[in-house]
């Protein structure tokens, strides 16, 4: 475990010490496979750095690198700080997770590396790596082939255990019985459901027919009453606005005042007179 006092120096803040200690705890003594493939010039440092591409199978190590880089960015507000850890999110960076370091070797290739420390120097954060040994291409291919073979063997072993444990004659019989009972239950349930639904529909239709038969006369009477009411109201309006009261001429009839003090015409029988001067009388 790295002590905080190792980073003590004039002008170093507690935040810088915390970040340094955190980075060393996460990355120091980590072993990984990486490919030293090129040298690149870093303008902000005005210097060259060796680029090591971390093998994509080193998932845990890559996650630790990303975590450390994110923590440094969050804690340190210096925009000119160069962090020697890049990924595909940075434009112009190599494909994959890359470490920008200074190596004691000049031969490109694939190696086993060990993280010795994490150096915070001015405007740069750089991992100090130790080369353990070189991995030949044949060795890498053999490792990949061995890994694939191991995966296949593990899969076959798991299938064999599953077959021996679960694919037995007793389990097959129990499965067949269970499926038979399940299918029979589904069929019987479907038949009973259809029967119940048919009976319910028949009763519903019968009840609806009874309601319609009983309510038809009432509805007809209500409609007839409504029609007569509307017709009578309209006829009353027509009579009120079209008919005028008839006034008899006073020269043809005589009137007298009745009990209600209204003029009532007097009726009387006039004798029949012929237009001629001859009067016709009946023979006795």
Per-residue model confidence as pLDDT tens digits over 88-120:
777 777 888 889 998 888 888 888 899 998 888
Q: Is the pLDDT of residue 247 over 70?
A: no
Per-residue confidence band for 271, with pLDDT thresholds at 50, 70 and 90 = low
User: What residue ranges do the domains of the chain occupy?
Assistant: 4-135, 137-167
* pTM, full prediction: 0.45
For 132, phi then psi, to 5°, come to -85, -60
State mean pLDDT over 73-100. Answer: 81
pLDDT at 86: 87
Distance separating alpha carbons of residues 132 and 164, to the nearest angstrom: 45
pLDDT at 263: 47
pLDDT at 184: 92
Distance separating alpha carbons of residues 224 and 228, to the nearest angstrom: 6
Cβ atoms of 72 and 65 within 8 Å: the answer is no
Task: Check the CA dihedral 136-140-141-146 and report its sign.
Answer: positive
State mean pLDDT over 261-268. Answer: 49
Per-residue model confidence as pLDDT tens digits over 155-211:
888 888 887 778 788 888 888 999 999 999 999 999 999 999 999 999 999 999 988
């Amino acid at each position: 475990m790295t002590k905080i006092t190792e980073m003590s120096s004039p002008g170093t803040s507690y935040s810088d010490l915390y970040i340094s200690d955190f980075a060393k705890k996460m990355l120091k003594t980590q072993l990984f496979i990486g490919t030293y493939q090129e040298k690149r010039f870093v303008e902000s440092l005005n210097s060259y750095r060796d680029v090591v591409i971390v093998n994509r199978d080193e998932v845990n190590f890559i996650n630790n690198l990303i975590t450390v880089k994110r923590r440094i960015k969050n804690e340190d507000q210096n925009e000119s700080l160069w962090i020697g850890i890049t990924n595909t999110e940075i434009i112009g960076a190599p494909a994959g997770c890359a470490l920008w370091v200074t190596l004691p070797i000049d031969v490109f290739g694939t190696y086993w590396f060990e993280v010795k420390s994490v150096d915070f120097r001015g405007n740069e954060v750089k991992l100090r790596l130790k080369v353990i040994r070189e991995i030949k291409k044949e060795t890498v291919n053999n490792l990949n082939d061995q890994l694939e073979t191991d995966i296949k063997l593990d899969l076959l072993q798991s299938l064999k255990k599953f077959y021996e444990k679960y694919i037995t004659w007793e389990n097959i019989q129990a499965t067949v019985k269970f499926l038979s009972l399940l299918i029979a239950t589904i069929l019987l349930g479907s038949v009973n459901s259809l029967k119940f639904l048919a009976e319910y529909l028949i009763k519903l239709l019968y009840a609806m027919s009874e309601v319609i038969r009983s309510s038809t006369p009432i509805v007809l009477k209500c409609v007839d009453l409504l029609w007569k009411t509307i017709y009578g109201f309209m006829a009353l309006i027509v009579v009120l606005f079209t008919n005028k009261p008839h006034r008899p001429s006073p020269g043809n009839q005589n009137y007298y005042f009745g009990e209600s003090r209204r003029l009532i015409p007097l009726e009387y029988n006039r004798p029949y007179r012929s237009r001629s001067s001859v009067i016709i009388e009946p023979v006795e």
